[in-house]
Amino acid sequence: MRGVGPVTLCAGALIPALAQAAEPVRTVFGTLPDGRTVEEVTLTNGRGVTARILSWGALLRTLDVPDRAGATADVVLGYGDLADYLAKPNYFGASIGRYANRIRAGRFSLDGRTYRLATNDGPNALHGGAAGFDKRLWTITAVTGGAAPAVSLRYVSPDAEAGYPGTLTATATYRLDETGALTVTYEATTDRPTIVNLTNHSFFNLAGEGSGRSILDHVLTIPAERYTPVDATLIPTGEHRPVAGTPFDFRTPTAIGARIRDGRDEQIVRGRGYDHNWVVTDAPTAEPHPVARVEDPESGRILEIASNQPGVQFYAGNFLDATAVGKSGLAYRQSDAFALEPELFPDTPNQPAFGSARLDPGQTYRNVITYRFSTSPAHRTDK
């Protein structure tokens, strides 16, 4: 993996050093119905941050992070066994492809030919269809130790899988560094023209996934002046609408729950809250840039996200319905977690004004996502 340093939106207290990084641990997590083995790799950075990655869906299953007092909690939603991931995946922590987010009517055209995709979200294709990359067994290709332990995984998507053209070779590399930053690098190559948009779909609750607290009091910043409003099926209308004066303005730190039920805004009604793309830049950039910052005031945990992608989909867990019971035994409910997915804009293949999702032979698609954790000092109440 080519090295990319973490990018931050603002300074926070560094997590204190606890110990030297432990070597990665590779174990068997479970067995698929067809007999194939699903493995788990544990990465530990020695500063209290531990990540566990599954070969099923190249997904992030756990992410243990200290709070301001040094107490560690798992801050991502997920399950304790493979059977639950197979029965009710919910995209928890998963690598998403071949095209993250929605494509209108499950159709797009490339070089004069129309391709029909599997639809799985009303009339639209969502996150690669009903059997996207999140529901595939990836191959672990490398596990490395040292100060920045890492695991690399690969999935080869055959031509015409889920309707997409070309054989696509995708890789996902998780690297945990000594500062408390987890970087996920997605790359892809193809043998014929195709479209690609890969991202990670981790659901975060900085209070801890087993805390029983919602994320409505988490304070969010998104450095974007525009977002892409959607129609009744959550497909972008094509407009880049200013966030100023709307519930979508997170240019200054704002509690997620402050305006999430503002039914006067049609977009809030359509998304049942937030399930929209913010326009951070107009096109992918050479280096990662800040896309979001989230702070849980009670625990002091801060998450800063950077990527080289132009958009970030913010989803406030609006469709979590308590039918999924997580690792800690709690049923995940609406607003129990949020997802921030750096990616190309939704439905880009059908909206030329959004840019291009095309990948040609000889090119390499790349999405670098850094999740950097720190803590804030306690707020005084005796002033």
Residue type present at position 224: A
Q: Which long-range contacts (CB under 8 A, 24 or more apart) does 254-258 make?
A: 254/219, 254/220, 254/221, 255/216, 255/217, 255/218, 255/219, 255/220, 256/215, 256/216, 256/217, 256/218, 256/219, 256/220, 256/316, 256/335, 256/338, 257/214, 257/216, 257/217, 257/335
Residues designated as active site: 201, 341
| Residue showing tokens 């596990």 | 143
The angle subtended at Cα 339 by Cα 284 and Cα 324, nearest 5°, is: 145
Q: Which long-range contacts (CB under 8 A, 24 or more apart) does 123-131 make?
A: 123/233, 124/233, 124/234, 124/235, 125/99, 126/101, 126/102, 127/91, 127/96, 127/99, 127/100, 127/101, 127/201, 128/96, 128/97, 128/98, 128/99, 128/100, 128/162, 129/162, 129/163, 131/162
